Chain A
Amino acid sequence: MKELMIGNAAVARGLYEAGVQVVSSYPGTPSTEITEFSATYDEVYCEWAPNEKVAMEAAFGASLQGVRSACCMKHVGLNVAADPLFTLSYTGVTGGLVVCVADDPGMHSSQNEQDSRHYAVAAKVPMLEPADSQECKDFAKLAFEISEQFDTPCMLRMCTRIAHAQSVVELEERVVPEKKPYVKNPQKFIMAPANAIARHPFVEERTEKLRAYAETAPVNRVEMGGTDIGIITSGTCYQYCKEVFGDSVSILKLGMLNPLPVEKIREFAGKVGKLYVVEELDGVIESHCRSIGVDVIGKERFSALGEFSQKSIAEAFGMEPKETVTADTQVPVRPPVMCSGCPHRGLYYVLAKNKLTVLGDIGCYTLGMAPPLCALDSTLCMGASISGLHGFNKASGGETENKTVCVIGDSTFMHSGMTGLANVAYNGSNSTVIILDNSITGMTGHQQNPTTGYNIKGDPATKINLEALCHALGIERVRVVDPYDLEGTEKAVLEELAVEAPSVIISRRPCVLLKYVKPKAPVAVNKDKCRSCKRCMKLGCPSIHMDADGKAGIDNTLCVGCGVCEQLCPFGAIEHTEATMAELPPAQSVAQ
């Protein structure tokens, strides 16, 4: 049967057909759907782990148990999981273990543009890269075979244009290999120095065996065409090159990115005139070619920045751009924004109003950086808000403690905020930490996490109590506010900033996009009362605009009646059409 599938769904299908038993992951664009689709197969145990390190370690445990396992993450998630990865390379596996990692060239939804291939090289593990959905499925299966044949975790590298592009896939049946018995093997699995020293030569020998495999592996494919130009490429870049050149050039398509073949490349180089390496991000293949004495044209011609396309490659080869028509008037940009009724908005308004310095984190709430709120000062990586705030306050000698806060989401707090908070308590900075608890992992498209009370299948699960957790981490002052209540939120923030103790404020209200959150009647502007002061415009709510008459207007198709703007208006011009604030459920109960 043939089906149109996005690359991520095809990877999930490949894992399934290969008989995967355990998939543990943390969501991250563009990798998230691999795990979501895996969870649709009842035969596969699937979970959202609190972070990528935990996920990879869970996959390790499953492999140790003797079954096939996988973990999936975005490129920056691999940084978090790097610790187990490097030593997993030494232990190797029992059941096959596949690490799926999705890069994001062009940074559609990421904080950097790092190239995961460096990890495969550094950790000395094999890496495959598919170029369409069919290969996503085929390579996921091949990754398990390589993993077991060579006793190694095997990486599967995706990128946005493969992960989120649909193409046709031929489906096959699931075949589950027999579970291997668990046998205690300290020399292989206890990586204490004596054993690790003995194991390192195995890793080096394995790399050479894998390189020999790469020399003849069918996934490293030569497509001979015209021989004036030869191109070495992989993944989505292969598709762009084929689009531009068809069969007029010769192509060495690498399906295996680590280790790279030597003889195969030399042989190909010998058959063509000018040799180019076309690869997005860093010149990894190019450096390899140079190191084996093959001269290529690479990054001096093709950028290390952003995504490629058939257009950028044609231009790099000096071809004329295609004819187009554009309007002369500039189209205003349309950046992503926090939704109407987003619970983060009220909190951010309070922070901006008080001109606080705000160390931020990774999630929907990073959008608080945008005008008009401009509420954020920094965003580094998952968890850095809390640990960064601690360092910021320590370095100022405590002077910044009463005018600086940090914000971190519920899922991000579980991912890597807890250790930062332990540091605040243990090493004693009077930091004020705000946990934005919207009861879901928002930005990646609503995944459950340990604080939501549900697992990946939507079944009830242990719900970790954030208040109790913060207390247990050594923070005595923990309070909960409703970010729709501006006065109460401001009071809490100012009180906790003033107090000589570390504190946590949990700003709690579920994401408005959650199905169980029912929108309230939209608010409306009483035009007689509006004095055009534009204070409501300071919220940056997509539902509020200034009408042609100079007075505020509310888009009643977008407004969900959160009532935040109503509290801001000094003239009482914004009125609830039906419900009032008194009818809103109390903050404590909404996250159930």
Chain B
Amino acid sequence: METKGIVICGVGGQGSLLASKLLGRVLVNEGYDIKVSEVHGMSQRGGSVITYVRYGDKVYSPVVQSGEAEFVISFERIEAARYAHLLKKGGIIITNTQRVDPMPVITGAAQYPEEILGELTAKGVQVEAIDALTLAQEAGSAKAVNIVLMGQLARHFHIDYDKWIAALEQTVKPKFVELNKKAFRLGYESGK
């Protein structure tokens, strides 16, 4: 099979690392070859961050480039738009509806583009926007936004729900399993 790409993006500190860990686990369990590329260091301090996940029979490059991603999963609205060019034709954006102002918006040097996801939809991109923060809080912790989003991804993905739950149990600490299972289910059922 051809190598496929998934992009997870957001704002430094939002917890994209656990999301890529869960995704990596479920893909490894399925027997895929896989590469995950992260960037650490300076960009983590509230900057725009991106993780690439690639899987297939044999994966070479660890990075996803323009027009290659099946999914762009975003923790923040405009970060989804920032990396929309990575989507391949027919790809899907899954984004949290949360707004986090970047410094140029805070200082008034730039405007927050409120309508940008609508612009993408108008151009034929499938955008699944969910209020993952509220769902995460409903599950018991605002930090579970990452797992809510992975639940939404699972709805559109070819791997069975139960296998995701098994991977989740392998990925998170035992005392957080129940909370994360709930967050995953809320994400999975959102927009149904």
Q: B44-66: which residues lie under 8 A (CB-CB) from chain A? A: 44-48, 59-63, 65-66
Q: Find the B residue at minimum CB distance from A332.
A: B110
- Tell whether, in the assembled complex, residue A161 and residue B63 are in contact, meaning their CB atoms are under 8 Å apart: yes
A325 partner residues in chain B, CB cutoff 8 A:
84-85, 87, 89, 120, 123-125
Determine the chain B residues whose CB is within 8 A of the CB of A337 once the complex forms.
45-47, 103
Query: What residues of chain A lie closer than 8 Å to B88, measured between beta carbons?
Result: 322-324
Q: Which residues in B have their C-beta under 8 angstroms from that of A109?
A: 39-43
Check if B119 sits within 8 Å of A327, measured CB to CB: yes
Comparing B74-82, B146-154, B183-191, the segment that makes contact with chain A is B74-82
Which of A242, A243, A323, A370 counts the most chain B CB atoms within 10 A? A243
Q: A109-B40, A337-B103 are in contact. Are A332 and B59 (CB under 8 A)?
A: no
* Contact partners of A166 in chain B: CB under 8 A: 24, 34-38, 62
B108 within 8 A of A: yes
**In the complex, which residue of chain A has the Cβ closest to the Cβ of B12?**
A336
B103 to A540, Cβ gap below 8 A?
A: yes
Contact B46 A310 (CB under 8 A): no
A313-346 contacts to B (CB < 8 Å): 321-339
Whether B106 is near chain A, meaning CB under 8 Å from some CB there, is: yes
Kindly report which residue of chain B lies nearest to residue A445, judged by CB atoms: B40
**Residues 101-159 of A contacting B (Cβ, < 8 Å):** 108-109, 132
Q: How far, in Å, is A321 (CB) from chain B's closest CB?
A: 6
Instruction: Using CB atoms, name the residue of chain B closest to A106.
Output: B39
The answer to whether B104 touches A309 (Cβ under 8 A) is: no
The reply to whether B106 and A544 form a contact with Cβ atoms under 8 Å apart is yes
B138: Cβ under 8 A from any A Cβ:
no
Taking a contact as CB atoms under 8 Å apart, the answer to whether B12 and A309 are in contact is no
Q: How far is the CA of A239 from the CA of B66 in the complex (A)?
A: 17
> What separation, in Å, do the CA atoms of A319 and B62 have in the docked complex?
20
Distance, CA A310 to CA B62, complexed state (A): 10
Is B68 in the interface zone, CB < 8 Å from A?
yes
From B24, B40, B113, B115, A331 is in contact (CB under 8 Å) with B113
- Whether B65 lies near A310 (C-beta < 8 A) is yes
For A338, the chain B residues whose CB sits under 8 A away are 45
- Interchain CA distance A162-B100 in the complex, whole Å: 31
Q: Take A4-B34, A537-B107 as given contacts and tell me if A332 and B112 are in contact as well, using a CB distance cutoff of 8 Å.
A: yes
A240 x B45 contact (CB < 8 A): no
State whether the Cβ of B101 lies closer than 8 Å to any Cβ in chain A.
yes
The distance in angstroms between the C-alpha atoms of A337 and B123, with both chains bound, is: 33
- In the bound assembly, the distance between CA atoms of A311 and B88 in angstroms comes to 14
- Known A166-B24, A243-B61, A331-B113: A160·B39 in contact at CB below 8 Å: yes
Cross-chain contact B39 with A335 (CB below 8 angstroms): no
* CB proximity of A425 to chain B, nearest CB, Å: 32
B61/A328 in contact, CB under 8 A: no
**For the complex, what is the distance from the CA of A364 to the CA of B43, rounded to whole Å?**
10
B44 touches A336 (CB 8 A): yes
Q: Answer yes or no: A432 CB below 8 A from chain B CBs.
A: no
Interface size on A, residues (CB 8 A): 58
User: Residue A333 contacts which of B38, B60, B104 (CB distance < 8 angstroms)?
Assistant: B104
Alpha-carbon distance A326/B93, docked complex (angstroms): 12
A4's partner among B24, B116, B142 (CB-CB below 8 A) is B24
- Chain A residue numbers with a CB within 8 Å of B67 are 321-324
Q: A4-B24, A109-B40, A546-B108 are in contact. Are A329 and B115 (CB under 8 A)?
A: yes
Q: Given the complex of chains A and B, what is the CA–CA distance between A546 and B105 in angstroms?
A: 10
CA distance A274 to B114 in the complex (A): 51
Query: How far, in whole Å, are A239 and B46 apart by their CA atoms in the complex?
Result: 30
Does B119 lie within 8 Å of A334, measured CB to CB? Answer: no
A312–B124 Cα distance when bound, in Å, is 27
State the CA gap A327–B85 with chains docked (Å).
Answer: 9
Q: Please, which residues of chain A bring their CB within 8 A of the CB of B48?
A: 333-334
Residues on A with C-beta less than 8 A from B44 are 336, 445
Instruction: Tell me, yes or no, whether B28 is within 8 Å of chain A by CB.
Output: yes
Q: How long is the Cα–Cα vector from A337 to B11 in the complex, in angstroms?
A: 11
B128 contacts the other chain (CB 8 A): no
Q: Which residues of B contact A327 (CB under 8 A)?
A: 81, 84, 113, 116, 119-120, 123
Task: Determine the distance from Cα of A310 to Cα of B68 in the docked complex, in whole angstroms.
Answer: 11
Does A65 interact with chain B (Cβ within 8 Å)? no
The minimal Cβ–Cβ distance linking A510 to chain B, given in whole angstroms, is: 16
Contacts of A165 in B (CB 8 A): 35-38, 62
- Whether A331 touches B81, Cβ cut-off 8 Å, given contacts A309-B65, A311-B65, is yes
A310 touches B34 (CB 8 A): no
Report the separation of the CA atoms of residues A545 and B87 in the bound assembly, to the nearest whole angstrom: 32
Closest 3 CB pairs of A and B: A322-B67, A109-B41, A29-B41
Could you show 22 A-B contacts with beta carbons less than 8 Å apart?
A29-B40, A108-B42, A239-B62, A310-B63, A323-B88, A324-B67, A324-B86, A327-B116, A327-B123, A331-B113, A332-B104, A332-B109, A333-B102, A336-B45, A339-B46, A364-B45, A367-B45, A371-B109, A372-B107, A443-B42, A445-B44, A557-B142
User: B residues touching A (Cβ–Cβ < 8 Å)?
Assistant: 3, 11-12, 24-25, 28, 33-48, 59-63, 65-68, 78-79, 81-82, 84-89, 101-113, 115-116, 119-120, 123-125, 142
| Other contacts beyond A4-B36, A333-B102, A444-B41: 15, CB < 8 A | A108-B42, A160-B39, A164-B37, A166-B37, A325-B85, A325-B120, A327-B84, A327-B116, A332-B102, A334-B102, A337-B45, A443-B42, A537-B108, A540-B103, A544-B106
